[in-house]
Structure 1
């Protein structure tokens, strides 16, 4: 096996939430990493995660195939982590998650590279009513069409210090006396630690897990939306009203919030943003399938023991307590 220090991995989207953990994990294994992002100057914070010269940001935009090919040139493996939760300007679901994934896969194949990791999401479905889920499925298909040996990862909600889930609802609880339970809060999730997802990426690059396979990544616990919000309130020491919001009403509210965000030029606080596509996603459970469990296409199936929410989330949600981590009161 070629020493990892002689191998170069191009990571698209390496400056994002999942990306920074993937870059760090790869660096610890000794790989050289080319971080392909739209704004390399905003990815310089990654360099201290490795040795001098080990991590190098370069410019690339998935909407421009030439820049994608340039970022891949000379690499030994490719990781595509690029994805968006909502659309804005030219950054549409189709452009980023379907066409962008296709551009990466085609450039990878053209360079003769067989190690490709495509990040998808649980709920990916070509027949989904959600544009997000449908384009994620298109990205998976594009990866396998060009690189049959590719590895696709479908994580559930990913949690970690910079996540946009637990942090978002903790922030919302700080500014609002009421938290909406979309669909009554019965949607089920299987939150997975970002470090475990990064480890799966590394194992795919190492070549120690099966290729040409879709892995479903979920944590050790399945929780409803209501249970997750109750946990956030318990950790942050806040007492808030949990108000059931039917999907129909949530869809109307999301449309209004999309309009407000548009006319305010995106100035609506992230904690208040909600799109109609996200409401559609919440109508389907986000958990690992029985088929994936039976076929060993899970974290446990490759020998990983996933982290518990309780072992990680309190370490970063303390900042949302009324008086910080040393707040001894039961409720704020």
Structure 2
């Protein structure tokens, strides 16, 4: 008898060319899925091609602000993953357009196509929050669950990994500056989560192993203050720098000024976000809506940071520093 080969399922990943996206695409490709990467600039997604077999990963142009492009990107997909988010507004890329209305557009397209949906939000999403970022993230979540009730929603804490914009940014700053700022005194708490662990959680939701209609909060194994993050980063790169507390009023002023740059290092909205701890809630722990509840053992910053921050050491990979 002739064996009938089944075509692998198709997953559309919005924001697949970004930091989290490349890890999600790789996790899906390793599972054998066909991956359609929806991006505003698909010509910049060439780095994803080696992550899969020939023809397995297909970049396609799509913009969450252009509804027909969203529908086209979702057409024929078995599952949709939305990773799109912005840390600051630029041009027509506004928080409301991307994280609120954009999330709704993806959800409606997925619903129309009969596809499953995994939506990535962020810890701190709060409809009543002060930060516009947090408000629009919460509105996006509400729109997703209203449109696709069985969608899986993930709220990761600050993510770290080889291409992250947090530890890399401050480690690079430490190469040239004798001081590093501690906004608000550095007391804000984070629960850094490894980007590969978040990608694995997303892949498991695509596999159908995760209960839908639920919001999961993803944090790493250790809660760390802003100061502790900076101290561990400096220890990893073998540099000593003065950590200078920056009061909130001064941070807001700096955010107002720096926020006018095309790619700001800090904005007022980000300063507002930093006033609230970014950790997994007690409710999520009690209700088993965490990374551990998904069967994933979160990797720590102590284990991962040395694997990519070595390039910021005084002698790079040839540094005499010995990691424990």
Quote the offset at 1:297 in angstroms.
0.4
What is aligned with 2:170? Answer: 169
Give the whole-Å Cα distance in 2 for the aligned partners of 1:232 and 1:311.
Answer: 12
What is aligned with 1:298? Answer: 290
Cα pair 2:78 2:114 within 8 Å, conserved = no
What is aligned with 1:83? Answer: 85
What is aligned with 2:184? Answer: 183
Secondary structure of 1:210's aligned partner: coil
From 87, 97, 100, the counterpart of 1:98? 100
Quote the offset at 1:5 in angstroms.
5.3
Give the whole-Å Cα distance in 1 for the aligned partners of 2:206 and 2:220.
Answer: 21
What do the CA deviations read for 1:172-211 (whole angstroms, capped 9, x no partner)?
1112111111111000000000110001101111111111
Give the whole-Å Cα distance in 1 for the aligned partners of 2:173 and 2:269.
Answer: 20
Over 3 Å counting, the alpha-carbon distance change for 1:144 and 1:177 in structure 2 is same
Give the whole-Å Cα distance in 2 for the aligned partners of 1:216 and 1:4.
Answer: 35
Quote the offset at 1:7 in angstroms.
0.5
What do the CA deviations read for 1:63-100 (whole angstroms, capped 9, x no partner)?
00000000000000000000111111011111111111
Cα pair 2:35 2:58 within 8 Å, conserved = yes
From 25, 28, 35, the counterpart of 1:26? 28
Indicate whether 1:108 and 2:100 are aligned.
no
Over 3 Å counting, the alpha-carbon distance change for 1:238 and 1:4 in structure 2 is farther
Superposition misfits of 4+ residues, deviation over 3 angstroms: none
Report 1:1-332 matches (<5 A). Answer: 6-113=8-115, 115-259=116-260, 261=261, 266=262, 273-328=265-320
What do the CA deviations read for 1:156-183 (whole angstroms, capped 9, x no partner)?
0000000001101101111211111111
Give the whole-Å Cα distance in 2 for the aligned partners of 1:141 and 1:105.
Answer: 11
Give the whole-Å Cα distance in 2 for the aligned partners of 1:218 and 1:293.
Answer: 10
Give the whole-Å Cα distance in 2 for the aligned partners of 1:39 and 1:128.
Answer: 32
Give the whole-Å Cα distance in 2 for the aligned partners of 1:216 and 1:329.
Answer: 35
Please, what TM-score do these two structures have when normalized by structure 1?
0.93
Give the whole-Å Cα distance in 1 for the aligned partners of 2:201 and 2:32.
Answer: 16
Give the whole-Å Cα distance in 1 for the aligned partners of 2:232 and 2:289.
Answer: 29
Give the whole-Å Cα distance in 2 for the aligned partners of 1:129 and 1:212.
Answer: 26
Runs of 5+ in structure 2 lacking a partner? none
Cα pair 1:238 1:321 within 8 Å, conserved = yes
Give the whole-Å Cα distance in 1 for the aligned partners of 2:294 and 2:69.
Answer: 34
Cα pair 1:34 1:57 within 8 Å, conserved = yes
Cα pair 1:5 1:30 within 8 Å, conserved = no
Give the whole-Å Cα distance in 1 for the aligned partners of 2:31 and 2:82.
Answer: 19
Give the whole-Å Cα distance in 1 for the aligned partners of 2:132 and 2:177.
Answer: 29
Give the whole-Å Cα distance in 1 for the aligned partners of 2:144 and 2:321.
Answer: 51
Give the whole-Å Cα distance in 2 for the aligned partners of 1:209 and 1:202.
Answer: 10
Q: CA RMSD in A?
A: 1.4
**321-330 vs 280-289, greater mean Cα deviation:** 321-330
Please, what TM-score do these two structures have when normalized by structure 2?
0.96
Give the whole-Å Cα distance in 2 for the aligned partners of 1:160 and 1:120.
Answer: 18
Give the whole-Å Cα distance in 1 for the aligned partners of 2:128 and 2:179.
Answer: 34
Give the whole-Å Cα distance in 2 for the aligned partners of 1:6 and 1:165.
Answer: 36
